[in-house]
Homo-oligomer: A and B are copies of this chain.
């Protein structure tokens, strides 16, 4: 699958999954046509931004009409590789990890947690949300060729586990620990820091009383 490196801006790329899911919902609801204005209102993204984002992929709409939902959806399905499934490993079956195991990512999505690991022997062997928990010691043997990991371990373990993951061939990590892990250039990390997000919200509430963003 040719890496479609025609300079889609990162900001645009981050919105694609949102667009995809929303179009999918429209399709399920039986809507066959949609305008950038409607999309804008529903997704809270400026309509010009939506048109601009779509335009990076070519002329997907029709003037005076809008976008054909099915066509657009099919287009994004291909673009986002929704046909091939992406297996994911979850490391750390604590509260947050358990929540993800029960969370049905596959719903509108090509990603599925296939295997989980934890250091607590009492959790090993059990299945949570249909996913078997292995011991963290056996991680390398049970990872297979999975290249995406969700990291929900204690912060003290984060770097150590990261190093092992990378050695085992993982090239993408969704990091929920507060640790800013160090990885080679070739590995992509997205951080989601829940405490920071909450604190950031509070800061914005106090200091930016009226505007709205993101």
Contact pick for A203, options B43, B80, B197, B200, CB 8 Å: B80
Q: A48 near B: Cβ within 8 Å?
A: no
Contact in complex: A200, B190 (CB < 8 Å): yes
Residue of chain B at shortest CB distance from A41: B182
Contact in complex: A174, B197 (CB < 8 Å): yes
Residue of chain B at shortest CB distance from A18: B196
Stoichiometry (number of copies): 2
Contact pick for A103, options B107, B111, B194, CB 8 Å: B194
Q: A164 near B: Cβ within 8 Å?
A: no
A side interface size, CB within 8 A? 72
Complex-state Cα separation, A99 to B103, whole angstroms: 12
Q: A110 near B: Cβ within 8 Å?
A: yes
A-side interface mostly? mixed
Q: Which residues of A contact B (CB under 8 A)?
A: 1, 3-5, 8, 10, 13-14, 16-18, 20-21, 42-44, 80-81, 86, 88, 94-96, 98-100, 102-103, 105, 107-111, 147-148, 150, 171-174, 178, 180, 182, 185-186, 188-210, 212-214
Q: A8-B207, A174-B198, A186-B209 are in contact. List 7 more A-B contacts (CB 8 A).
A: A3-B206, A3-B207, A20-B199, A42-B180, A43-B180, A81-B203, A86-B202
CB-defined A-B contacts under 8 Å, sample of 10: A17-B195, A17-B196, A17-B200, A20-B199, A80-B199, A81-B202, A111-B202, A148-B202, A188-B212, A191-B214
